[in-house]
Amino acid sequence: MSGHSKGVHGNVTEVRPAAPHPPSLHSVYREHRQFVYRVTRQLGVSPHEAEDVVHDVFVIVGAKLDGYEGRGSLRSWLYGITRRVVSHHHRGERRSQRRLALVTDDPATTAPEPDRDPEDAVARAEAADLVEAFVEHLSPNKREIFMLALVEGLPAPAIAEATGINLNTIYARIRSVRRAFERVVARRRLVKEGARWSR
Amino acid sequence: MESLSNDAVEALKSYRARLDSTPGVETRTWARIEATRGSADAESIVSHYDAMTRPTPRRWPWVAVAAAAAIVFVGLGFALGRGSSWLSETESDPSQQSIYEAEPEQTSPRSVTSKQAVGSISIAEPEPEPAPEPAVEAEPEPDPIIDADAARPRPRRRSRSPASSASDLAAEIDLLRRAKQALGRGSSAEALAILEQHRRRFPRGQMAPDRHALQLEARCHQGSAHRAKARRFLERHPRSPYAARLRKTCDLSP
């Protein structure tokens, strides 16, 4: 896994700013806001709270960007910041949950775009449910690898850099989690085909 | 590293889309970021972050070294004390001295060493630590198979390359698909033959639980008395995707 995975991550680009001209905060936000938001959500933050976490992450990025040397991948750096901010957020979660109980769901933050084809929408919802159920059963270590490698398409060296885990261990975990995921997907395919035959 | 199957890629796309924020959230968050930058709030957020990332002083290694040194010192003192008292005892006791001198080979270097280290043995020779976890994680075990598969001697697992693992999985899926098609046509015998083929080629294959469910389904189709086995399978795999089909085919109440 020497480069970025293609397919699901076709739009992944790594910004490696040269030391003299770091990118502007706006360009980093534009490029990586979804990455930070998704990672925040996958680290267990609710949609309402995720907005606050993303805000804090980019405020910190704005303050640190000038000193960012660009030695590693920008996403690794962003992941490190996001993970710490989420960890800090979780410590005050009880307080936040009390506040959350008073907040009603804001459709603007949670409702996805309406799907034009209802059948397609159902299929996509089922597929997303499958991944969610799969992620729930992973250990925290493998969940992190699944998130960074398969969902976000980070290359193994960037994951090693972001997590501080040995590169060979990262490769082994990626292989293991990919195999397990393919197995779940294959099983679902078989079951769906079986349902079609038995109709 | 081999690429993901199309189904896996599509599932991941759907999952990513579910996690994405909406344009409304993005615009609102950016407006808040711009409003916060340079304010006291931003300073507070950044200083909190800096406090989180500041390395904690490394006190524990020094405490551990000091404690170990103290224990070694006490242990050595104890050993020397015992050694000198033992020497003085042997000097003053001629019988013991003669024994020592008459049979010097009995006091092997090993026994002398253990005597000398008696006071500090727990420090000088700590318990060997358990072997570290291997870096490569074990592949998850397939679900247990209830039928005779479990009782049969299993071949040794060979380490396989990712490519062979992927092609094996494809071959397994192909066999199971053919078995399902045979079942769909009502040909249980053919399905069982294909499943037996799967069992021989992949006794501990990745789709072994699926094979077992299909075997049970085929046998129930044939009217064989496999309801108890099917019930046990359902007890072990209550959330199996085959549960509903199996209940129906084997005439089991939910």
Task: For residue B30, give the chain A residue with the closest CA.
Answer: A55
Residue ranges of A 100-119 with Cβ closer than 8 A to chain B: 108-109, 111-113
Two structure tokens written together for A137? 């059963």
> What is the structure's pLDDT at A47?
85
- Three-state DSSP class for residue A134: helix
> What is the structure's pLDDT at B210?
83
Q: Pick from B3, B15, B41 the residue to mutate for testing the A interface (most A CBs within 10 Å).
A: B15
> What is the structure's pLDDT at A73?
84
Residue A151: which pLDDT band, with cuts at 50, 70 and 90? very high
* CA B233 – CA B246 distance, rounded (Å): 9
Give the percent of chain A with pLDDT over 70.
73
Task: For residue A125, give the chain B residue with the closest CA.
Answer: B14
> What is the structure's pLDDT at B126?
37
> What is the structure's pLDDT at A196?
61
Is A13 near chain B, with CB under 8 Å?
no
Q: Backbone dihedral region of B161: left (phi > 0), alpha (psi from -120 to 50 degrees) or beta?
A: beta
Is B44 near chain A, with CB under 8 Å?
no
Is B7 near chain A, with CB under 8 Å?
yes
Query: Is the pLDDT reported for residue A10 higher than 60?
Result: no
> What is the structure's pLDDT at A60?
94
pLDDT tens digits along B37-62: 878 888 888 888 888 777 665 556 66
For residue B64, give how far its alpha carbon lies from the nearest alpha carbon of chain A (Å).
Answer: 25
> What is the structure's pLDDT at B165?
66
* CA A70 – CA A31 distance, rounded (Å): 16
ipTM field = 0.79
Q: What is the mean pLDDT of residues B102-127?
A: 36
Cα angle B76, B77, B82; round to 5: 95
Is the Cβ pair B21, A60 closer than 8 Å? no
Name the residue among B18, B21, B29 with its Cβ closest to that of A128: B18
End-to-end Cα distance, chain B:
43
* CA B11 – CA B17 distance, rounded (Å): 10
In the chain, the amino acid numbered A187 is R
- Among A73-77, A108-112, B32-36, where is mean pLDDT lowest? A108-112
Residue B80: which pLDDT band, with cuts at 50, 70 and 90? low
Query: Which residues in chain B are closer than 8 Å to A191, comparing Cβ atoms?
Result: 241-242
Higher pLDDT, A195 or B104: A195
Query: Is the pLDDT reported for residue B248 higher than 50?
Result: yes
Please identify which residue in the block is written with the tokens 């005597």: B115
For residue A121, give how far its alpha carbon lies from the nearest alpha carbon of chain B (Å).
Answer: 10
> What is the structure's pLDDT at B169?
79
Give the percent of chain B with pLDDT over 90.
7
Handedness of CA A30, A31, A33, A38 (dihedral sign): positive
Is the Cβ pair B206, A125 closer than 8 Å? no
Query: Is the pLDDT reported for residue B72 higher than 80?
Result: no
> What is the structure's pLDDT at B122?
34
E strand or H helix at A83, and its extent? helix A74-91
- Of A30, A93, A154, A39, nearest to B20 by C-alpha is A39
* CA A104 – CA B102 distance, rounded (Å): 93
Residue B144: which pLDDT band, with cuts at 50, 70 and 90? very low
Q: What is the mean pLDDT of residues B115-129?
A: 36
Is A130 near chain B, with CB under 8 Å?
yes
- Among A15-29, A91-105, A128-142, B164-178, where is mean pLDDT lowest? A91-105
pLDDT tens digits along A72-106: 788 999 999 999 999 888 876 544 454 444 333 44
Higher pLDDT, B31 or B156: B31
* CA B207 – CA A187 distance, rounded (Å): 8
* CA A82 – CA A95 distance, rounded (Å): 20
Q: Which of A48-62, A116-130, B80-94 has the highest mean pLDDT?
A: A48-62
Q: Which of A83-92, A158-167, B32-41, B164-173 has the highest mean pLDDT?
A: A158-167
Query: Which residues in chain A are closer than 8 Å to B4, comparing Cβ atoms?
Result: 5, 7-8, 150, 178, 181-182
Task: For residue B210, give the chain A residue with the closest CA.
Answer: A187
* CA B62 – CA B64 distance, rounded (Å): 5
Is the Cβ pair A38, B19 closer than 8 Å? yes
Higher pLDDT, B120 or A23: A23
Is B160 near chain A, with CB under 8 Å?
no
Residue A121: which pLDDT band, with cuts at 50, 70 and 90? confident
Contacting residues for B193 by C-beta, under 8 A, at least 6 apart: none
Is the Cβ pair A128, B29 closer than 8 Å? no
For residue A52, give how far its alpha carbon lies from the nearest alpha carbon of chain B (Å).
Answer: 8
Query: Which residues in chain A are closer than 8 Å to B52, comparing Cβ atoms?
Result: 84, 87-88
Higher pLDDT, B122 or A187: A187
For residue A22, give how far its alpha carbon lies from the nearest alpha carbon of chain B (Å).
Answer: 17
Q: What is the mean pLDDT of residues A144-154?
A: 95
Q: Pick from B2, B6, B18, B176 the residue to mutate for testing the A interface (most A CBs within 10 Å).
A: B18
Query: Is the pLDDT reported for residue B163 higher than 60?
Result: no
> What is the structure's pLDDT at A172?
95
* CA B241 – CA A40 distance, rounded (Å): 31
> What is the structure's pLDDT at B106?
40
* CA B125 – CA B76 distance, rounded (Å): 13
> What is the structure's pLDDT at A39?
95
Secondary structure of chain B as H, E, C letters: CCCCCHHHHHHHHHHHHHHCCCHHHHHHHHHHHHHHCCCHHHHHHHHHHHHHHCCCCCCHHHHHHHHHHHHHHHHHHHHHHHHHHHHHHHHHCHHHHHHHHHCHHHCCHHHHHHHHCCCCHHHHCCCCCCCCCCCCCCCCCCCCCCCHHHCCCCCCCCCCCHHHHHHHHHHHHHHHHHHHHHHHCCCHHHHHHHHHHHHHHCCCCCCHHHHHHHHHHHHHHCCCCCHHHHHHHHHHCCCCCCHHHHHHHCCCCC
